């Protein structure tokens, strides 16, 4: 008898946002699905939510783009000016958010708190401080699920924030168990905090076969401006500089296909528009067809305000002929896991986490080091023209994904965390 047979603890998830297609939101939904399948109630609190209102608590100031949060964040991280008033305001916001967390807990009475990245990267300093104090004051068992840390992003470090970073990003407390998504992050986390950590990479439910093209999404290529015989090269990432979109554009240009197009599924996000403009200029310069379709992608199918059909990211995967993943850095790589799940060929840069945690598992991909060569292009062209090779690659990768990146793996890992709390 395992721990799931003995008890069904309830879980309260907290973050800045549970909405849209960002990696934290997507991975949280997977954790919630797995826990729900084991009979465990789940609840959500964030500053932006697309979860069921019946199990959710909206706290607007938890969102990193709330105007009051932006004001104090910019003062410390951009203007580099921390006045007594800014310090007081951070403390006031912390207290307001701590009240919201207490309401969340009181309303739903969950047994275990799961903090999704809000104690790792300081996009909302008052929220991290509030969560930390709530954990210390209530001694609630907590799983701190860290996707990326402040020391991995230069823009999040400032000497003016040292006290906050030491206190809450991440905090160390006997009631907190820390989860990281890659081994390199775990090693750095251990060195920084002296605390232990558990590795749980990104996952997909491999026991459920991927969906196929259906009557709803059959017209996707046409709807985004492609012909049926176009080669759809998908980069399922945001438009930010570390995602290396220039490399994907060059790859598309050099492929042996007259109608190859690069499709980007996500928008620019929270790092500004300069890189987006750079990419738009670059593809014009090299004459590559680029489709950024974030306005047609949502968490569910439907129609936008102009009456156009909207699709899910999974609809796009079904139509993709090749996935490109030229990122310079990733915490793990949702796009990699999803590509394996959809049995798609992948051209991937050997970023550090890929080399450390993914490559040793034996996945069959076309990898390159920082830039593509003619050998890279030849390998891609040969693969795309060889259905038997594609089928063998897809099957091998799918089975490896089921072994290493599945809900079953996630279940085992969380079960061990629960045993640590409950003692059996």
The token pair at 316 is: 């796009």
Using the predicted structure, report yes or no on whether residue 78 has a pLDDT greater than 80.
yes
pLDDT digits (tens, 9 = 90+) for 31-53: 999 999 999 999 999 999 999 99
Task: Say what the pLDDT of residue 270 is.
Answer: 55
DSSP element (H, E) containing 114: strand 112-116
Q: By residue range, what is the domain housing residue 417?
A: 3-203+407-422
Residues 115, 224, single domain; the answer is no
Whether the predicted model's global pTM rises above the 0.75 cut: yes
Residues 255 and 164 in one domain: no
Nearest to 313 by CA among 270, 344, 355, 352: 344
**pLDDT above 90: residue 1:** no
Is 388 within the bounds of a domain?
Answer: yes
Residues 125 and 224 in one domain: no
Check residue 84 and give left, alpha or beta (phi > 0: left; psi -120 to 50: alpha).
alpha
Q: What is the CATH number of the domain that holds 349?
A: 3.40.50.2000
Alpha-carbon span 294 to 402, nearest angstrom? 29
Based on the domain organization, do 413 and 385 belong to the same domain? no
214 inside domain: no
Say if residue 95 is in the same domain as residue 182. Answer: yes
Residue 250 counted as domain residue: yes
Question: Same domain for 156 and 262?
Answer: no
Structure tokens at 109: 């009475």
Assigned domain for 140 exists: yes
Does 46 lie in the same domain as 76?
Answer: yes
Specify whether the CB–CB gap between 327 and 240 falls below 8 A: no
Do 230 and 159 share a domain, yes or no?
A: no
Residues 278 and 186 in one domain: no
> CA 424, CA 411: separation in Å to the nearest integer?
16
Q: Where are the beta strands (DSSP E) in 231-369?
A: 231-235, 260-264, 289-292, 297-298, 302-303, 309-312, 322-325, 346-349, 366-368
- The yes-or-no verdict on residue 291 having pLDDT over 80 is yes
Mean pLDDT of the chain: 94
| Residues β-bridged to residue 115 | 14, 144
How far does CA 288 lie from the centroid of its chain? 28
Mean pLDDT along residues 135-149 = 97
* Average pLDDT for 123-145: 98
Q: What is the pLDDT of residues 330-357, one digit of tens each?
A: 878 788 999 999 999 999 999 999 999 9
- Report the distance separating Cα 231 and Cα 196, nearest Å: 46
Query: Would you call 29 exposed, middle or buried from its count of C-beta atoms within 10 A (0-12, 13-18, 19+)?
Result: middle
Helix (H) or strand (E) holding 57: strand 56-58
What pLDDT is recorded for position 250?
A: 97
* CA 115 to chain CA mean position, Å: 14
Nearest to 280 by CA among 289, 269, 271: 289
**How do residues 193-228 score in pLDDT, each as one tens digit?**
999 999 999 999 999 999 999 999 999 999 999 999
Indicate the number of domains in the chain.
2
**Cβ atoms < 10 Å from Cβ of 107:** 14
- Radius of gyration of the chain from its Cα atoms, rounded to whole angstroms: 22
Same domain? 418 vs 386: no
Look-up of token digits 């089921």? 402
In a domain, 209, yes or no: no
Cα angle 208, 210, 214 (rounded to 5 degrees) comes to 125
Q: Are residues 187 and 247 in the same domain?
A: no
Confidence of residue 28 (pLDDT cuts 50, 70, 90): very high
Q: Does residue 208 fall inside a structural domain?
A: no
Instruction: Kindly state whether residue 215 falls inside one of the protein's structural domains.
Output: no
Measuring CA to CA, which residue among 99, 158, 157, 159 is closest to residue 126? 99
Rounded distance between C-alpha atoms, residue 154 and residue 356, angstroms: 22
Structure tokens at 317: 């995967």
Residue 210 lies in a domain: no
State the average pLDDT over residues 372-387. Answer: 95
93 and 238 both lie in a single domain = no
Burial 70-92 (b: 16+ CB within 10 A, else e): eebbebbbeeeebeeebbebbee
Contact 162, 127 (CB under 8 A): no
């Amino acid at each position: 008898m395992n721990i799931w047979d003995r008890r069904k603890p309830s879980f309260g998830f907290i973050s800045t946002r549970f909405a849209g297609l960002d990696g934290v939101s997507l991975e949280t939904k997977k954790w919630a699905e797995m826990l729900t399948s084991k009979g465990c109630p789940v609840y959500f609190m964030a500053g932006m939510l697309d979860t069921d209102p019946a199990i959710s608590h909206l706290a607007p100031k938890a969102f990193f783009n709330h105007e009051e949060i932006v004001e104090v964040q910019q003062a410390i991280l951009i203007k580099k000016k921390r006045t007594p008033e800014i310090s007081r305001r951070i403390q006031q916001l912390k207290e307001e958010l701590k009240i919201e967390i207490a309401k969340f807990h009181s309303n739903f009475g969950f047994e275990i708190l799961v903090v999704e990245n809000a104690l790792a990267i300081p996009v909302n300093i008052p929220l991290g401080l509030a969560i930390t104090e709530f954990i210390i004051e209530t001694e609630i068992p907590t799983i701190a699920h860290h996707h990326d840390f402040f020391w991995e992003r230069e823009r999040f470090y400032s000497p003016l924030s040292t006290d906050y970073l030491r206190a809450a990003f991440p905090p160390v407390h006997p009631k907190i168990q820390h989860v990281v998504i890659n081994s390199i992050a775990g090693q750095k986390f251990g060195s920084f905090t002296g605390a232990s950590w558990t590795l749980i990479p990104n996952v997909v439910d491999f026991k459920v076969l991927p969906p196929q093209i259906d009557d709803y999404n059959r017209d996707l290529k046409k709807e985004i401006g492609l012909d049926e015989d176009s080669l759809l090269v998908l980069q399922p990432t945001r438009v930010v500089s570390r995602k290396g979109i220039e490399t994907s554009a060059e790859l598309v240009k050099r492929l042996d296909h007259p109608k190859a197009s690069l499709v980007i599924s996500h928008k620019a996000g929270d790092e500004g528009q300069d890189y987006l403009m750079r990419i738009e200029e670059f593809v014009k310069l090299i004459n590559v067809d680029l489709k950024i379709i974030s306005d047609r992608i949502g968490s569910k199918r439907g129609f936008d305000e102009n009456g156009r059909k909207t699709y899910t990211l999974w609809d796009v995967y079904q139509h993709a002929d090749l996935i490109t993943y030229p990122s310079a850095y990733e915490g793990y790589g949702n796009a990699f896991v999803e590509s394996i799940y959809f049995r798609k060929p992948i051209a991937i840069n050997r970023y550090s986490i890929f080399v450390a945690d993914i490559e040793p598992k034996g996945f069959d991909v076309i990898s390159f080091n920082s830039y593509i060569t003619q050998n890279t292009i030849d390998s891609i062209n040969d693969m795309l023209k060889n259905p038997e090779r594609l089928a063998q690659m897809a099957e091998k990768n799918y089975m490896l994904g089921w072994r290493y990146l599945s809900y079953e793996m996630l279940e085992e890992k969380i079960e061990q965390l629960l045993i640590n709390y409950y003692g059996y």
